[in-house]
Amino acid sequence: MSIFFYDRNIKNYKNFIFRIIIILLVVYYSIKVTTLTLDAFNDPDAGWGILHLVNLIFHEAGHLIFVFFGDFITSLGGTLMQLIIPILCMITLFIKTNDPFGGSICFWWVGENFLDISVYMNDAERMWLPLLGGRFGYSSPYGTHDWNYILNELGVLEYCQIFAKIIFCMGVFIMILSIIWGLFLLLNQYAVIKKRT
């Protein structure tokens, strides 16, 4: 457990202030992206947070990486890659640099990706969202909208909005948990720095 809470990167007040700024930005963005996600459940033109564009790159790369495993896994591969990348970043920060604060931010990114995924999943039946290339799911060939294809193949398409809300709640929970984790590390860092001075 110490890997999650012991931070050997505690250096000085500059580092501490930088981390406070990071956590404040994460809190601000969490509120913003949660609101945008809730709006996007009912309005495909609601807009996206800036991280959506980053997530989209990994999502599309996932389709290419998993293309060798059949249509179903190829469709699921986009979502898988959206989650794999921040998890790999988190693991790397733990193992290579022993940076649990950075790990908490990457864990937050996992939660933020769940929100991104929930919007796409919520749209599986209606297919209102614009897809890459300017098309919409409702006017595209079967299989173009990932979550329409995945849930249809599983025979549970009519439950897409329930699944989306569950994924949304999981994402919010992960984001809150990671912020609490980061704040705990900041309190610990403050106590250590104060002892040194």
105-153 per-position pLDDT tens digit = 999 999 999 999 999 999 999 888 877 766 666 556 665 789 999 999 9
Q: What residues pair up with 136 in beta bridges, in sequence order?
A: 130
Buried/exposed code over 97-107 (b: 16+ C-beta within 10 A; e: otherwise) = eebbbbbbbbb
Query: pLDDT-derived band of residue 15, with 50, 70 and 90 as boundaries?
Result: confident
The number of beta carbons lying within 10 Å of the beta carbon of residue 164 is 21
pLDDT at 69 over 80: yes
pLDDT at 96 over 60: yes
Query: pLDDT-derived band of residue 1, with 50, 70 and 90 as boundaries?
Result: low
Task: Report the pLDDT averaged over residues 142-168.
Answer: 92
Does the pTM surpass 0.85? The reply is yes
Average pLDDT of the chain is 89
